[in-house]
Amino acid sequence: MKMRKRSFFPVPAFFVLLSSLSAQTTARVCPDYVEHFEGRGGDRYLAGWEDMHEQVLYDGARIARTRAVITAVAFRRDCDRNKPFQARKVHRRILADHCAGTPDAISGTFARNLGPGAVKVFESSRVVFPPQPACAAGPAPFAAVFPFSKPFLYERKKGNLLLDILGKGTPSAWREWIADAHAQSYGTSGMTAPLGPGCKGKAGEYVHLSVSPYPLKLGGSLSLSFTTNLAKPGTLLAWVGARCNRLGNTPLPLDLTFLGATGCKLYTSLEVLFVLQGSGSGYPGLSLPIPGNPALAMAQVFTQAAAYAPGANPAGLLFTGGVRCLVWPGRRPPTVLNSVFTNSSAASRGSIMRTPVGPVTQFRGTFQ
């Protein structure tokens, strides 16, 4: 099978462009790079155990450059456990504090991490972790919200940010409500997340796009593969985009029903285009080299494809779903959070995983 390029934007320059994109928000997620991706782990203590104690230490540089006024924190369910979670009503108390230690050096003794300036920002005996449906695809929304009773002023010069979360209840009582967490493993595979589903033709025809996370790293490749049930696969257009929120002045995703592509959506911009020719066995794969430039680590790209499918809909086009892709660095990234935890509110010490891990956390407020 032969592949020919319709047009080409230089790949190294393209990734440099992506790495420079930024947005200003009133919320920050830590780790920031998994905001739109499912974390590589789960936290069974935050909501699961009635009686518990967990401290999470965050790299303050990921929260604010100088200071932040934090008004709430929120957590999301783990979508790797693809089953419904029932509502969970428990007691929880949260202290916020500055900590001189680093996430890599968090102590297993709770008192050593917590200083005299700790502030109680939340406490309730009726905390509700809301019911959660099974995940069609992760990540889930940040649905477990803890509004602070008073804002916490975090100042970067005073150290890193510590949350001390305590729950008092029936010892050893546990119910499955697992929060999404991220373990900063030593692996070097990238991350992918769906932007939305593809469309089907009148007779159920489809084309599906998959992106392998394993080579998605510096010096690796962006590797696309396609599956279809079309009897005679023809021409397919695949593209890589720099954005998933707009195409020029047009917001994305864009419903393409007005073009005759019923139920189809455009999810990404189109900076790099490739034309592939199908055959009786389907469509060939596509592999795009990723430069080894460290500046491209954690860059995001977006990809999608459309296939010529006469009769599938008035436009004769089937669109795949869109995929968000994160380029992983060549080595484990710096530790941005870590936790110590136990299923006893009376314990003075907790466990620390060998691989730094902590719940994916959304901070709400104003950040400078």
DSSP state of 83: S
Whole-number pLDDT of residue 186: 62
Give the DSSP H/E element, type plus range, for residue 192.
strand 191-196
C-alpha separations of 21 from 16, 47, 105, 306 in Å: 9, 35, 32, 26
The predicted model scores a pTM of 0.88
Give the pLDDT of the chain (368 residues) as one tens digit per residue: 333 333 333 444 334 433 433 334 489 999 999 999 999 999 999 999 999 999 999 999 999 999 999 999 999 999 988 899 999 999 999 999 999 999 999 999 999 999 888 999 999 999 999 999 999 888 999 999 999 999 999 999 999 999 999 999 999 999 999 999 999 876 779 999 999 999 999 999 999 999 999 999 999 999 999 999 999 999 999 999 999 999 999 999 999 999 999 999 999 999 999 999 999 889 999 999 999 999 999 999 999 999 999 999 999 999 999 999 999 998 888 899 999 999 999 999 999 999 999 999 999 999 99
- What residues does each domain of the chain span? 3-17+187-326, 31-186+334-367
Rounded Cα distance between 220 and 288, Å, is 9
Rounded Cα distance between 336 and 179, Å, is 18
Whole-number pLDDT of residue 96: 98
Class of domain 3-17+187-326: mainly beta
Rounded Cα distance between 321 and 197, Å, is 4
Residue whose C-alpha is closest to residue 191's, from 323, 46, 29: 323
Rounded Cα distance between 316 and 306, Å, is 10
C-alpha separations of 224 from 123, 211, 326 in Å: 48, 5, 14
Residue whose C-alpha is closest to residue 226's, from 271, 272, 269, 281: 281
Whole-number pLDDT of residue 138: 83
Tell me the β-bridge partners of 349.
109
Can you read off the two tokens belonging to residue 14? 């393209």
Would you call 104 helix, strand, or coil by DSSP?
helix
Rounded Cα distance between 148 and 140, Å, is 22
Whole-number pLDDT of residue 12: 44
